[in-house]
Amino acid sequence: MCDSRLSHCGFEFILSHEKVTKLCDNGVIMALLPYPLAREILFEMDAERAHDLAMNLLARLQNTPMQCLWSTPRVDDPVRVAGVQFPNRLGLAAGLDKNGRCIDGLGAMGFGFIEVGTVTPKAQPGNPKPRIFRLPAKRALINRLGFNNEGLEAFLNHVKRAHSFRASGGVVGLNIGKNAATPIERATDDYLAGLDAVYPHADYVTVNISSPNTQNLRTLQSDAALDGLLSALHERHLSLQAAHDRQVPLFLKIAPDLNEAQIDMIAKALLRHGMSGVIASNTTVSREAVQGLPHADEAGGLSGWPVFEKSNDVIRSLRSTLGPNFPIIGVGGVLSAQDAVEKIRCGADLVQIYTGLIYRGPRLISEAAQALAQDRSASQRP
């Protein structure tokens, strides 16, 4: 097999595939490497194997002295959104930590908030592998994971064990979905079960109806189906507030592949049914920006740079209809500090990253959070 040629800080390393494999299998060694070098080694691996290695490493080393290897002081930029105090405006999107195993380890990187899931009522394996594909030329990923997760019971056990991130003021969002085996006409049952279970343990809850990787899920964004779902969720949300004597905001996560009429309909439904906020947006099924690239024709949701403008367009449209005060979390294609600022200027209140973290590493977190803080300071000057 060919050797791997890796470059870092002006030095070039030539490693055999056998040595690359040994480095990758030794998680502690990987944690010691600068992220650009670690990324090049990880990118030699299957994308899902690399993901699992990184998450297992974080789960194992979080809240130990080894956490200092990636801990970064959090940028102080407090903001209150949907009744929740966020220590800064940069968060991690759902999907990276589906089972809520690494909240403290991820939080130590400087995030103001971490969203974990999507969790479904019952454990499920997701779609067949391979199901994650890199498109480095466009700093993008395609995934068709299909809500693979350990189910609500295991998820909540992980969430309840997390402590240091919240103790430092970090905010934790819990993202819920439906099982693949649940008929779409019974989807509301799964969402209500998820809401009941996660409500006592969440700082906010996200209802994910926009993944392209669960059959027919996006049909829940249509008029009648959305009205029925949101009406049931609102009624349950009110009863949970009373039962637990605490208000936990309820967000809806929507797709970027919506036209103006659909966005307008969803925005009005959010207001009509008393939702607390909206997250825009999930991955796209469009391949216009990646045509001709290896893996571009793989089924699944495309994330990263190609979804940046699509999500921005959705944010602008939502803000126009929802008015100035309705909470919006912007996500999609943030790969630089300026990208994060642009989400706010399009109308978002908070920003999330995911694919950008894969390509840029933890440095993106502090850069983006600092840029958001500076942008707000500048805009508030007389």
The residues carrying an active-site annotation are: 211
**Nearest by Cα to 50 from 358, 360, 300, 333:** 358
Return the closest-CA partner of residue 317 out of 261, 369, 379, 357: 261
Which amino acid, residue 51?
Answer: H
User: Tokens 């969803």 appear where?
Assistant: 266
Of the candidates 167, 158, 62, 157, the residue with the CA atom closest to the CA atom of residue 108? 62
Q: Which residue has the tokens 């803000």?
A: 319
From first CA to last CA, the distance across the chain in angstroms is 63
d(CA 32, CA 42) in angstroms, rounded, equals: 14
